[in-house]
Structure 1
């Protein structure tokens, strides 16, 4: 007999180009060993896709985004429609392992836990680029070296595999609409949500590595050009996010990552290269340096832009 849990799974989608992957995502949610109370697919301002999803998945709740275009409003539409105690999110290009939902819910026996996230592993369309270091796998939306290897408290998780208490989510008004992934913008709306919920409720987030999903990494996201653009966007996004946070809430995790994790990655790969363990290690060391430069440049551009806007507003 399948167990069940008072949790709704929300899956945002926006394009017919992801139809095949959306079907895989919904199927994986339907085949959880711990069954959700409801599966909700939210279509982002695409009437034709909305009708197609309704016809394809009769046992699934299908909604149209009632908010602004973008992932944040799309997720909010599904979350605020749900009535479950827990709200889980999956992206439409992921596949959840059968124990994903049940394992992700375990930490919530502690009332101090407001949310949790799981391990995200890459599903490369071809092969992983040889120049990609483990520490920078976050650029393709998956878990990276330096994250906990067992259940542990963590500052923030990713919305591709997230569970949150409905009460806490509603208390802060959900994801910040207009701050997220839309067009060429790539702002960390999930990190911002986690920080805002923690600040508002005093609760904490947990990382659950045995709650596993696979995340598609298409060819166009396996290029060095995409990688640099992603790092640049992250630099800009973190500056934008810092401007939204209370003054006493610092981005300590980012600072520790830059000061400790990345220098260790450079040193480890350079050592491996000098010991003859493969020339790709030298490429990975160089990639880390390029990533820091691109993110720093993006942060600088955003800082200058923000200062310019502030000066213009005071004139």
Structure 2
């Protein structure tokens, strides 16, 4: 254990008693860390019955109710603004963290210019992983994907299922953007948006990806379907365009990482086809198709959102002229 590590509060958002078993498992992992957190905070999203049950049945943690409008962004903010430790760690309520997850992921904060870190997210499939699922698109089920760093390295953004932030920079950035996140069929990248804004308000601050800090993220059977995959990629395309429009005034290219990722996909298709052709399994052909389908769905989503944005702009201009 690193005795010089900064004190850390773990914040876990939750919302439904359907996820009770997941939540208790996540809390067991949080309590079992080799670096003991200063406090564990569970924030309940507008569910008084679940809030009361947690207070009654789960001792040793702090339980809060979402102080903002419904949604995970406000849920996380409630816990983060309550916390007083220099570092705040965010975990989803359906993960299994390795015992040394926290210890490993706070190590980069020895560098004062590190404003946040993220770790490796291993999809934990409820059933069999789909044969057609390409590693390049594991982000569609909340996992780390092929092409990410394999050693600790700087990165533009990480994901809130496995994220640690410096509290002072998080507060200076205003926390997660409430109303911009995952709720219902909306899938806006509130975590990427936060990373960009924290980088903007800090002096030379940067994010670090720590692949040795591992969590497993539950993937229910219904999220292993091709239909879900296409819908998720479509929503991601729309969400990234929405996020980009929020950062248009920033001199940096808010979608630079996405553009680099898109250019890597043709190589992924060639790689999978080549693997199939050299006897490494016909599943690689399916994965090549998965790459094409995912890229197409995300592209359509991006086009739809871009057109919608332009129409809204013209409508606003017309109303203003009247």
TM over 0.5: yes
Q: Secondary structure at the match of 1:312?
A: helix
Choose from 285, 290, 310 the match for 2:288: 285
CA root-mean-square deviation? 1.2
What corresponds to 2:314 in structure 1? Answer: 311
More deviation in 2-11 or 236-245? Answer: 2-11
What corresponds to 2:234 in structure 1? Answer: 232
Q: How far apart are 1:277 and its partner, in Å?
A: 2.2
> What TM-score do the two structures reach when normalised by structure 2?
0.95
Cα contact 2:97–2:214 (8 A) shared by 1: yes
Q: Secondary structure at the match of 1:36?
A: coil
Counting only pairs closer than 5 Å after superposition, residues 1-315 of structure 1 correspond to structure 2 as: 5-201=6-202, 202-245=204-247, 246-250=249-253, 251-260=255-264, 262-315=265-318
Q: Using the alignment, how far apart are the partners of 1:162 and 1:197 within structure 2?
A: 13
Q: Using the alignment, how far apart are the partners of 2:20 and 2:197 within structure 1?
A: 33
Q: How far apart are 1:249 and its partner, in Å?
A: 2.2
Cα contact 2:2–2:103 (8 A) shared by 1: no
> What TM-score do the two structures reach when normalised by structure 1?
0.98
Q: Using the alignment, how far apart are the partners of 1:136 and 1:312 within structure 2?
A: 36
Q: Using the alignment, how far apart are the partners of 2:18 and 2:187 within structure 1?
A: 20
Q: Using the alignment, how far apart are the partners of 1:198 and 1:67 within structure 2?
A: 24
Which deviations, in whole Å up to 9, do the C-alpha atoms of 1:20-61 show, x marking residues without a partner? 000000110011010000000000000001001111222100
Q: Using the alignment, how far apart are the partners of 1:247 and 1:58 within structure 2?
A: 45
Which deviations, in whole Å up to 9, do the C-alpha atoms of 1:81-121 show, x marking residues without a partner? 00000000000010111101111110001000000000111
Cα contact 1:5–1:35 (8 A) shared by 2: no
Cα contact 2:119–2:211 (8 A) shared by 1: yes
- Structure 1 pair 2/118, CA: closer, same or farther in 2 (3 Å)? closer
Q: How many pairs are equivalent? A: 314
Structure 1 gaps of 5+ residues are: none
Cα contact 2:114–2:206 (8 A) shared by 1: yes
Which deviations, in whole Å up to 9, do the C-alpha atoms of 1:211-264 show, x marking residues without a partner? 11110011011000000001000000000000001342211111111112x112
Q: How far apart are 1:2 and its partner, in Å?
A: 9.7
Q: Using the alignment, how far apart are the partners of 1:216 and 1:95 within structure 2?
A: 8
Structure 2 gaps of 5+ residues are: none
Q: Secondary structure at the match of 2:96?
A: strand
Q: Secondary structure at the match of 1:130?
A: coil
More deviation in 227-236 or 240-249? Answer: 240-249
Which deviations, in whole Å up to 9, do the C-alpha atoms of 1:105-139 show, x marking residues without a partner? 10001000000000111111011111011111110
Q: How far apart are 1:276 and its partner, in Å?
A: 2.7
